[in-house]
Structure 1
């Protein structure tokens, strides 16, 4: 059981600043540790426990607590007297920048820039950038997400993650999906090769020469990929790919396929085929949860390393290039490492849903 102590008083603004520093990947390691120490102190954790948890001494914990109780964040990051540059930004100014960045936008714009914020609060743009960096704030970036509303979300997550972390014996676990409408793009002019002092070049415009669909199944244990390019992604093509998997996976092994909820995967013809191929077991990811399927990461690598800068005069050229990539991948396959447990995923999703509920209730 974690020992407790008298909780150190802390304001909501101070807590926000400290939590930002504790999460930051850009702040100095010492400051990240110090922020974690102070947050634990505010939670009432005993000094000795805090020291063990963060790898510092109890003397250091007491010193940081005392300094915070006296000065708050006003002297955050200050070095010993007489050494280094003295801080010129007050705690109130840091709090103002945090408040404006996270809860407002400049007039007529979607997010703050360093220059706009500096103009608003009366500091230099470099000061704004430093404060954002220390707090791990990146207003210019936005991450895409969608919280799944699948009523069977929990059951599906537990099922899929269980296959990743505890795969069954005498079986192969394959992450399968289609990458549809891959375009055979040819540039309108010849590209120039990279030379010392100049990057390779290619035209911004292109000619479309048709498309193909790649069906791929990633073996989560070995990293090998069974792949097949087909004209479309109907149930007929999916059935053809299942037969390819059946031929390539050694007899005597069960086949666990992780795939999404696309209607093609549940077609009557597919169900009929599966009824006579008992070794195949389909596991569906929750809706809006493609990130749970490891083959999506392989598709991303394929795009970055082969497709994005490729030049294809025809669909056969495109297919040949994809098949070359598959061959190279399977000569020296490297599986992806999955570490997230079902519990950790469900906890994060629960937090995301709670945050969305809060935002929606305020609108």
Structure 2
């Protein structure tokens, strides 16, 4: 197909360099096939016989080797087979009489197959998965009139770790070196609320993560947003599901808070997780905190910096209506809104 494209573009009068850039190949490759085309015509685009010994393992055998690599190493145990085990299995089943592990590895690489690698995924058993995701995505795209949308969660077990010995600075050709030993000074829990449309952050560090701590944080949120409806997006943690506690909380604040729960095993729907990722990279990774107070100061500084020039995340996932044709709706009291198509 690449050779035919070279021939068609050359017929249109395009230069060798332009053809090479358009097809992502070298100038020498384009020049070679243009020369073959001029000398031999269309037949020159066909493959010619190559010198050397023909393939000892045919295409059918290669497919069987790829199929063997997809099988588990043990039916009720280890899943990923080694190259040596695949070689033994291929010979035992008569796929080939002999093959080296390096030859098998090249066949697997040519088939873009890596049987030793495993990528995990987590299925959500929530029967209302699509409805909940669509509702939350609608809130992310546009807040109901006169209301705000907050993404709230807790990051627990944040360790205040002090490096026992100072790092050695990086040098040319050598990465930064770090001593393995460290000193623990305790842990903190960060509870944060992200205004998804303004980017403003409210954060609070506590020694523990209890129901009382969460209620106290929500009182801070109520003070920060004293008027209007407040839509809260958070996960299914037991402290979030304490209906009696939040009924009492809502009663104290004129029923202004509406709670939206992400589907089970779907923390990616909660935008606050994006903020926690940035926090981990900029405050915790490769850091040395000499005390809990030091960790708190740096955490509070991070929140203050975010609020100095708040910037919301650009949420690109629009929900499942594009794949299923389902209408995307969210409820605000008796009003039901439907975003325009294309948003």
User: What aligned pairs does 1:162-173 form with structure 2 within 5 A after superposition?
Assistant: 162-173=138-149
Are the structure 2 counterparts of residues 140 and 104 from structure 1 closer, same or farther at C-alpha, using a change threshold of 3 Å? closer
Query: Which of 299, 308, 312 is the equivalent residue of 2:289?
Result: 312
Give the number of the structure whose residues are more often helix, by fraction: 1
194-203 or 231-240, which moves further after superposition? 194-203
Q: Which residue does 1:196 correspond to in 2?
A: 172
Is 1:242 the equivalent of 2:218? yes
Q: Which residue does 1:265 correspond to in 2?
A: 240
What is the deviation of 1:212?
0.5
Residues in 2 aligned to 1:178 and 1:163: alpha-carbon distance in whole angstroms: 21
Per the normalisation by structure 2, the TM-score is 0.66
Residue by residue over 1:137-168, the C-alpha shift from the partner in whole angstroms, topping out at 9 and shown as x without a partner, is: 44343333332223443432332222224432
Q: Which residue does 1:337 correspond to in 2?
A: 315
Residue by residue over 1:222-276, the C-alpha shift from the partner in whole angstroms, topping out at 9 and shown as x without a partner, is: 4332211112111111111112222334x44432111011121233333211123
User: What aligned pairs does 1:182-331 form with structure 2 within 5 A after superposition?
Assistant: 182-249=158-225, 251-267=226-242, 268-277=244-253, 278-331=255-308
257-266 or 188-197, which moves further after superposition? 188-197
Q: Which residue does 1:360 correspond to in 2?
A: none
8 Å CA contact 2:138–2:318 kept in 1: the answer is no
Residues in 2 aligned to 1:111 and 1:308: alpha-carbon distance in whole angstroms: 32
Query: Which of 68, 71, 79 is the equivalent residue of 1:103?
Result: 71
8 Å CA contact 2:168–2:177 kept in 1: the answer is yes
Residues in 2 aligned to 1:85 and 1:327: alpha-carbon distance in whole angstroms: 70
Secondary structure at the aligned position of 1:237 is classed as: helix
What is the deviation of 1:179?
0.5
Residues in 2 aligned to 1:91 and 1:323: alpha-carbon distance in whole angstroms: 62
What is the deviation of 1:308?
2.5
Secondary structure at the aligned position of 1:173 is classed as: strand
Per the normalisation by structure 1, the TM-score is 0.63
Are the structure 2 counterparts of residues 196 and 327 from structure 1 closer, same or farther at C-alpha, using a change threshold of 3 Å? farther
Residues in 1 aligned to 2:164 and 2:46: alpha-carbon distance in whole angstroms: 63
Instruction: Show structure 2 runs of 5+ residues with no match.
Output: 3-44, 91-98, 326-343
Larger Rg: 2
Q: Which residue does 2:47 correspond to in 1?
A: 81
Secondary structure at the aligned position of 2:298 is classed as: helix
Are the structure 2 counterparts of residues 345 and 138 from structure 1 closer, same or farther at C-alpha, using a change threshold of 3 Å? farther
Residues in 1 aligned to 2:324 and 2:265: alpha-carbon distance in whole angstroms: 14
What is the deviation of 1:123?
5.3
Residues in 1 aligned to 2:260 and 2:73: alpha-carbon distance in whole angstroms: 43
Residues in 2 aligned to 1:191 and 1:274: alpha-carbon distance in whole angstroms: 50
What is the deviation of 1:334?
4.8
Are the structure 2 counterparts of residues 248 and 140 from structure 1 closer, same or farther at C-alpha, using a change threshold of 3 Å? farther
Secondary structure at the aligned position of 2:240 is classed as: helix
Residues in 2 aligned to 1:142 and 1:265: alpha-carbon distance in whole angstroms: 33
Instruction: Show structure 1 runs of 5+ residues with no match.
Output: 1-28, 31-78, 348-363
Residues in 1 aligned to 2:245 and 2:189: alpha-carbon distance in whole angstroms: 20
Residue by residue over 1:73-117, the C-alpha shift from the partner in whole angstroms, topping out at 9 and shown as x without a partner, is: xxxxxx842599999564323322331222232798541456765
Residue by residue over 1:310-348, the C-alpha shift from the partner in whole angstroms, topping out at 9 and shown as x without a partner, is: 11111111111222222333344351423241346889x
Paired residue total:
269
Are the structure 2 counterparts of residues 92 and 152 from structure 1 closer, same or farther at C-alpha, using a change threshold of 3 Å? same
Are the structure 2 counterparts of residues 188 and 161 from structure 1 closer, same or farther at C-alpha, using a change threshold of 3 Å? same
Q: Which residue does 2:122 correspond to in 1?
A: 146
